[in-house]
Amino acid sequence: MTTVHRVYNFSAGPAVLPLSVLEEIQRDLISLPGVGMSILEISHRSAPFERILAEAEADIRTLAGIPASYKVVFLQGGASLQFSMVPMNLLTPGSTADYIDGGSWAEKAVKEARKIGNVNVAATTKGENYARIPRQDELKLTPNAAYVHMTSNNTIEGTEYKDLPEVGNLPLVSDTSSDMFSKPIDVTRHALIYSGAQKNMGPAGVTVVIIREDLLQRSQKSLPTMLNYAVHAENGSLYNTPPAFAVYTMGLVMKWLRREGGLAAIEKVNVRKAGKLYAEIDRTGFYRGTAQKAQRSLMNVTFRLPSEDLEKQFVKESTAAGLDGLKGHRSVGGMRASIYNAFPEDGVDALVGFMREFEARRG
Ligand code: PMP
């Protein structure tokens, strides 16, 4: 194995992967042990790949404690395709879907759903720049809504649900793209969970959808086949060629996560990592957190500096110091440190050190 230089990668996604996983991929890329061919070369109908797929699903089920009454499917098209697939499959004619609009990605989900059917925005915090997620008492839910859609972690604004919204018997659909498997998740309170893999679960190219079996009945035969959840579920994610390399890599990340102790163990590390950054942000007032404190994300830590000039300087100097990807999303500006599961704690310490030093020089 060659030793290579790696910077601290604060990217919001695709994001840092565990080094041990990258090394395993490198080691086995030319020839999978016992197979004699690369994962990039084998048929998706071959026994070795079916095993890889089955193990990835089994590890996901174990990690999240997914009951047998839920299907797990691996799709393509990113979380963005789910913005369309969810209403195409679940928003039956004549019914209304409720959307909780707590961030820019939720807003995009609303926009797509409106193309398919009736949408009620149950609450929005857009007027507050999405600095918080709507409160329970603000939700105006539709009786018998087809489902309620939420975004568990707002990647751009840096807020995150600490408790799931109460939606009674309505099916809860959650976009968990940016906090999936960063902490335990109560699958049974959801009807459908979807997550693009490229933040906490693996590389870009695969999207995990966990769907309660009874909802599959809503998928109409008239839907384009590739956009039909029931088809993918019936075919065990092998209706067509799946993104084999992405599934394989995600499988390795799931094994890594199990070795780390699973979701409760990783949550402790994530709380500690984020805690260090928020403590630094709050220390003097030079840095200013943009998310309301009670809902601060463990994954995407957003903050501003006293001026845009200082922010530009901060990005430039931090990048030069080997702290990559701290520039905030173009729609909100400022800084964003994405510190997903695989982001090393010493990288958080390095950023805290850099923030102190920068403030001492420029504050
Ligand atoms: N939802 C959330 C919460 C996201 O963070 C993202 C990507 N950053 C998306 C949806 C869109 O994902 P994709 O690029 O996989 O379509």
Least confident of 1-10, 128-137, 164-173: 1-10
Cα(58) to ligand 1 centroid in Å equals 24
CB proximity list for 62: less than 8 A, separation 6 or greater: 258
pLDDT of residue 155: 98
| Other Cβ atoms closer than 10 A to 135 | 10
pLDDT of residue 55: 98
Is any atom of ligand 1 closer than 6 Å to the C-beta of 155? yes
- Say if residues 208 and 228 touch (Cβ distance below 8 Å): no
- The fraction of the chain above a pLDDT of 90, given in percent, is 98
Instruction: Please indicate whether residue 316 is annotated as part of the active site.
Output: no
Residues 331, 298: Cα–Cα separation, whole Å: 20
Residues 63, 206: Cα–Cα separation, whole Å: 18
Domains of the chain: 23-259 (3.40.640.10), 262-362 (3.90.1150.10)
For the chain, the C-alpha Rg in angstroms (whole number) is: 21
| Other Cβ atoms closer than 10 A to 54 | 12
Cα(353) to ligand 1 centroid in Å equals 30
Give, as one character, the DSSP assignment of residue 187: G
CA-based diameter of the chain, in Å?
A: 64
pLDDT of residue 363: 84
**Residue 332: pLDDT above 90?**
no
Strand runs (DSSP E) across 181-315, as ranges? 192-196, 207-212, 288-289, 300-304
**Residue 274: pLDDT above 70?**
yes
Which residue of the set 101, 105, 179, 327 is catalytic?
Answer: 105
Token pair for 354: 């850099």
Instruction: Please indicate whether residue 175 is annotated as part of the active site.
Output: yes
**Residue 1: pLDDT above 60?**
no
**Residue 2: pLDDT above 80?**
no
Looking at every residue in the chain, the average pLDDT score rounds to 97
Taking CA atoms only, the protein residue closest to ligand 1 atom 5 is 155
- Cα 260 to the center of its chain, rounded Å: 19
Q: Is the model's pTM score more than 0.95?
A: yes
More confident residue, 331 or 111: 111
Residues 10, 27: Cα–Cα separation, whole Å: 25
pLDDT tens, position by position, 35-80:
999 999 999 999 999 999 999 999 999 999 999 999 999 999 999 9
Taking CA atoms only, the protein residue closest to ligand 1 atom 14 is 78
Q: Which atom of ligand 1 is nearest to the CA of 198?
A: 15
Amino acid identity for residue 20 in this structure: S
Token pair for 286: 């030079």
Which residue of the set 199, 256, 273, 327 is catalytic?
Answer: 199
